[in-house]
Structure 1
Amino acid sequence: MSYTTLDEYQRKWIFTHQSMPLPAEDLEKIKPMTQARAAQFWKENVSPQSPDSERLSTQDWPSKASNWKDEIKWMSCWDSDEPELPEGILEHIDWQDDVTVYFCYEKYNVLETKWSVFKKHWKNFLFYDDGPILLGRRRTETLWFSTKGTVKLGNRT
């Protein structure tokens, strides 16, 4: 089995928090990977040796400046009452709503969902903003969020 239930997920509260709870139909679309599957995914798509984005090697694609075209602020949008992602992200990523996305917190913590769910509930995902990377299935565009309130917009190689 590649997934665990959301009820078993250690950070489930970010999706059920009373200030921003998700509707049941969207909760069903968030699939936490098992630790083994997450580690495999991280190794194949982010870094074969580093356990998180803070300790990436110079060989890992996210460490290469050439993969990043811009960096914008996301924190002010997160703090606002408006639900939309920052405009710069929406300009960078023009995916169909049914594209499968992977929100990678670190080697053993990866969530799979649809772009539509991430777009609608991105603030929940960013309750933990310690360097998560968003990847899309068979897509090159990527996002790398920072605790400084910025997000790098890029393309993985």
Structure 2
Amino acid sequence: MSYLPLDDYQRKWIFTHQSMPVPEEDLVQIKPMAQLRAAQYWKENLSSQSPDAERFSSQDWPSKAGSWSNEVDWMTEWESDDEALPQAVLEHIDWQDDVTVYFCYEKYNVIETKWSVFKRHWKNFLFYDDGPILLGRRRKEALWFKTNGKVKLGLHE
């Protein structure tokens, strides 16, 4: 099986929390990958050795300074009443709404969804801000959300 039912996902509560519930029509588009599929995606797109963002090696593209062009604050926007992603993020990622994106928490925890769903519910995804990286299918742009409240804007190999 490629995906876990959302009901079986260990972090389901971040999408159903009463303070920020995701509507049903968007919930069905949030697809946690099964562990084997997540590990394969992580290995092919982020790191063949490191299990999470804290342990990337110098060979992993996210560790290379040249991968990142800018860093902006996301925490201020996350804590505000404004639902939109920070403007600098939206300027960096100019994708069509139907682009498939992968929100990568760690090797065994990757969520596939659409850019439009992520944009609407990015605050839910960032209930866990332990260094997740957002990639788009067949896109070079990348976002790396850091625990210090900053997001790195860059391009991946």
**TM-score normalized by structure 1?**
1.00
Q: For each residue in 1:96-151, what CA deviation from the matched residue of structure 2 results, as whole angstroms up to 9, or x when unmatched?
A: 00000000000000000000000000000000000000000000000000110000
Q: Which amino acid aligns with 1:120?
A: R
Counterpart CA distance in 2 for 1:61 and 1:114 is: 24
1:75 — aligned with what? 75
Q: Which amino acid aligns with 2:17?
A: H
2:47 — aligned with what? 47
2:91 — aligned with what? 91
1:6 — aligned with what? 6
Counterpart CA distance in 2 for 1:24 and 1:56 is: 35
1:113 — aligned with what? 113
Number of aligned residue pairs: give it: 157
Counterpart CA distance in 2 for 1:66 and 1:151 is: 15
Runs of at least 4 residues off by over 2 Å: none
Counterpart CA distance in 2 for 1:33 and 1:92 is: 26
Counterpart CA distance in 2 for 1:151 and 1:66 is: 15
Q: Which amino acid aligns with 1:115?
A: W
1:30 — aligned with what? 30
Which blocks of at least 5 consecutive residues in structure 2 are unaligned?
none
Q: Percent identity?
A: 75
Q: For each residue in 1:54-109, what CA deviation from the matched residue of structure 2 results, as whole angstroms up to 9, or x when unmatched?
A: 00000000000001000000000000001000000000000000000000000000
**2:147 match: secondary structure:** coil
- 1:145 corresponds to 2:145: yes
Q: Which amino acid aligns with 2:62?
A: P
1:63 — aligned with what? 63
The alpha carbon displacement at 1:33 in A equals 0.3
Counterpart CA distance in 2 for 1:113 and 1:13 is: 17
Counterpart CA distance in 1 for 2:5 and 2:31 is: 7
The alpha carbon displacement at 1:31 in A equals 0.3
**TM-score normalized by structure 2?**
1.00
**2:139 match: secondary structure:** coil
